[in-house]
Amino acid sequence: MIYLGLIGYPLGHSLSPKLHHAALRYCDLQGEYSLFPIEPDDLQRLKGVLDRLRSREITGLNVTIPHKQNVIQFLDELTPTVYSIGAVNTIYLRNDTLIGDNTDTPGFLADLKNFLAEFSFPVLGDGIGVREKKALVLGAGGSARAVVYALLKDSWNVILAARRIDQAQQLLDLFTNYQLQIADFTLMNIELSTITLIVNTTPVGMSPHPDQSPWPENLPFPQQAAIYDLVYNPCETKLVKDARAQGLSAITGRGMLIEQAALAFQLWTGKHVPREIMSSAIEAS
């Protein structure tokens, strides 16, 4: 029996159980995927759930807001990606060693490339009309770390806009060898016309508050920019709606959710699951 789960808070919006139950069925594996809502300061309960993984009562865990950094202190080993970004979203046991990994980074980059290729964005090609790969990332939490790292490794110049300047500065200190800048969250000190991609890594706009957006009110989006909102519930966020209303290409983080889930499932079980299987599970819901 395979026991999987997700640590985070709140978790009422999560589609992860549907994704992983579909994966278990596809692979003909008996198992369960449970939610472990743990409040931000309840480190004792957080450690307790990780101890259940260490004792093999649980097979594998996902981690989401606000514990992507909190869990690190309880782990034995971190993958190179986690060392680089300081955030964990997947945990598994190997030879009695509790390992923290991050499938958000490759999951985001894979889905982003699919998105940009689908809309034939000029940042992907060569010749006339090609624009600079310049991204504006909103937020500086655990998800932002994965996204910023993925973009920087893919040769993007990144501007980070966050309400908490201390968090943004931590990212700047992590990536001193890359093209990373910090901007005010009002975006008033940014030349928006040069932005090719906007990525929201904050939870603003997530259900049950779908009427909210992280983008400043009455501020037009950069012309010809692509919009990527990591929030996937609701299926069309206000940020995405507003961007599409301005004629821009915009998607939510559903594809990233599927990519990172499939990669995590493979780490836990050794089984490859077609992305279409997980996508169908979401569509059915």
Paired sense of beta strands 250-252 and 77-78, if any? unpaired
Query: CA-CA distance, 108 to 257, in Å (whole number)?
Result: 8
Angle between helices 254-269 and 275-284 (to 10 degrees): 120
Query: CA-CA distance, 271 to 2, in Å (whole number)?
Result: 13
Catalytically active residues are 68
Query: CA-CA distance, 51 to 57, in Å (whole number)?
Result: 9
Helix (H, G, I), strand (E, B) or coil at 264: helix
Sign of CA dihedral 222, 224, 226, 229: positive
CB count within 10 Å of CB 238 equals 19
Closest among 244, 140, 153 to 199, alpha carbons compared: 140
Closest among 104, 101, 93 to 2, alpha carbons compared: 93
In this structure, the chain runs to a length of 285
Query: CA-CA distance, 101 to 268, in Å (whole number)?
Result: 11
Secondary structure (DSSP) of 57-122: SS-EEEE-TT-TTGGGGG-SEE-HHHHHH---SEEEEETTEEEEE--HHHHHHHHHHHHHHHTT-G
Q: Residue 165 contacts by C-beta under 8 Å, 6 or more apart in sequence?
A: 182
